Amino acid sequence: MGDMNDIFNLGREAVHGIEQRLGMSRRDYLQFCATLAVTMGLPAGADAAVAKAIESAKRPSVIWLHFQECTGCTESLLRAEHPTLEKLILEIISLDYHETLMAAAGHQAEAARKDAMKANKGKYVLVIEGAIPVKENGNYCKIGGHTAIDLLKECAADAAAVIAIGSCASWGGMPSTGPNPSGASSVAEVLGKPVVTIPGCPPNPYNFLATVVHFLTFGKLPEVDKLGRPKFAYSRLVHENCERRAHFDAGRFAMEFGDAGHRQGHCLYKLGCKGPETYANCPTLGFGDAGENNWPVGCGHPCIGCTEKGVGFTKPIHQLAKMVNVAPPLQYARIVEEQGKGASLASAAALAALAGAAAGAAVMLTRNLGLSHAAEEAERAKAGSKPDDKARG
């Protein structure tokens, strides 16, 4: 993987270059590289490879397209602190096309996209934010006179890697919610092939950053699950690392917002938390560098399952989650208990009859309990019926 001595042997000029380029000390830079390596689940020594790649490798060209979305993914990226956005796009990657962040507009913007594609053919990273509408020949979304379908296919043709960022691009997200009049679809569905997906509404910016740095360091994208999600970020259920998990195991639940259990940090399962069926690293990574509790459940709201297709924007927010690998004990009260009704005279009479029959059977059973075979023979003898007589007959 690498050796940390490689970094210290970069030389005074190289170290000074790191400080000038990224605006951080060598110590902070090494901590940043180590954090990225840990985030990606890489083995010991990988931080050295990450450090050398960021320092010496050519910055990958990134073309970022916007379709049906709210720009929340970009807004989340804007709030990254390690490194800040300007350091990311100017020093780690080369963001050559991004409709929200670029200064150019109109024909100049489209020219910048085409120039970047031509100059980096087969080497650029294509990032898609937003779903792609396919109904009415894609007329629900056009940029520069071209439909989202055409732009996606054109840019993906010569891309070294395609990354779908956010739930909308990953599997349709909120725009695909029924009845889905525009036919909002995922990047993979339109391209007809698997892509790397980083779902979330919005996703944690460090999941995207770690994916790009992995590509920069090793020349390939990280290992993904069957849905295309990087395993380093989406291999564990939210429920497994949730800070409220201990309350779930102990049977302590918030029953309504603002009650005593809610204020004391009890489990939000009965309020509809989708953590037990949602794969994401939200509870371990946190958002916005504002503390590890800076995520929905940490703030007191149930997880809505925004990283899971068929859960986020599909299931009602307060519907109980499907327990993927952990179920609450049967003695826990259900979230909705059925209300009992008084018995009618007919049902009461039938119940009494059944109870009487059961009582009679119990008496007979009690009489027979404990009788030995000899006692049974004695009883038959008194009744004037011997086993041998029956056998002869």
In tens, the pLDDT along 65-91 reads: 999 999 999 988 888 776 666 666 666
pTM, rounded to two decimals: 0.70
- Indicate whether 171 pLDDT > 80: yes
Mean pLDDT of 40-52: 63
- Indicate whether 373 pLDDT > 60: no
3-state helix, strand, coil in the chain (%, to 5): 45, 10, 45
**3-state DSSP call for residue 146?**
strand
Mean pLDDT of 223-230: 93
Mean pLDDT of 298-311: 93
Q: Are strands 161-165 and 196-198 parallel, antiparallel or unpaired?
A: parallel
> What pLDDT was estimated at residue 393?
44
- Indicate whether 207 pLDDT > 70: yes
| Average pLDDT score, the chain | 79
State which amino acid sits at residue 108. Answer: Q
> What pLDDT was estimated at residue 2?
44
CA distance 372 to 137: 87
- Indicate whether 180 pLDDT > 70: yes
Residues 49/5, Cβ–Cβ less than 8 Å: no
Instruction: Tell me the backbone φ, ψ of residue 62, rounded to 5 degrees.
Output: -120, 125
**3-state DSSP call for residue 126?**
strand
Per-residue DSSP letters for 108-124?
A: HHHHHHHHHHHHTTTTP
CA distance 16 to 299: 41
> What pLDDT was estimated at residue 271?
95
State which amino acid sits at residue 209. Answer: L
The two structure tokens encoding residue 307: 């990283």
- Using alpha carbons, list the distances in angstroms from residue 115 to 110, 111, 121, 124, 212: 9, 6, 10, 12, 21
> What pLDDT was estimated at residue 340?
52
> What pLDDT was estimated at residue 286?
76
> What pLDDT was estimated at residue 390?
46
The terminus-to-terminus CA distance of the chain in angstroms comes to 93
SS3 for the chain is CCCHHHHHCCCHHHHHHHHHHHCCCHHHHHHHHHHHHHHCCCCCCHHHHHHHHHHHCCCCEEEEEECECCCHHHHHHHCCECCEHHHHHHHHCEEEEECCCCCCCHHHHHHHHHHHHHHCCCCCEEEEECEEECHHHHCCCEECCEEHHHHHHHHHCCCCEEEEECHHHHHCCHHHCCCCCCCEECHHHHHCCCCEEECCCCCCHHHHHHHHHHHHHHCCCCCECCCCCEHHHHCCEHHHHCCCHHHHHHCCECCCCCCHHHHCCCECHHHCCCHHHCECCHHHHCCCCCCCCCCCHHHCCCCCCCCCCCCCCCCCCCCCCCCCCCCCCCCCCCCCCCCCCCCCHHHHHHHHHHHHHHHHHHHHHHHHCCCCHHHHHHHHHHCCCCHHHHHHC
> What pLDDT was estimated at residue 7?
41
The two structure tokens encoding residue 86: 């300007």
Domains annotated for the chain, with CATH where assigned, are 1-56 (no CATH), 59-233 (3.40.50.700), 236-328 (4.10.480.10)
Q: For 24-36, what is each residue's pLDDT tens digit?
A: 676 776 776 776 6
The two structure tokens encoding residue 42: 């890489």
Neighbouring CB atoms inside 10 A of 194's CB total: 13
- Indicate whether 392 pLDDT > 50: no
H or E element, residue 147? strand 146-147
Secondary structure letter of residue 297 according to DSSP: G
Q: Which residue has the tokens 């270059």?
A: 17
Q: Are strands 132-133 and 196-198 parallel, antiparallel or unpaired?
A: unpaired
Mean pLDDT of 311-317: 91
Predicted confidence band of residue 109 (pLDDT cuts 50, 70, 90): confident
CA distance 162 to 302: 31
Share of the chain above pLDDT 90, in %: 42
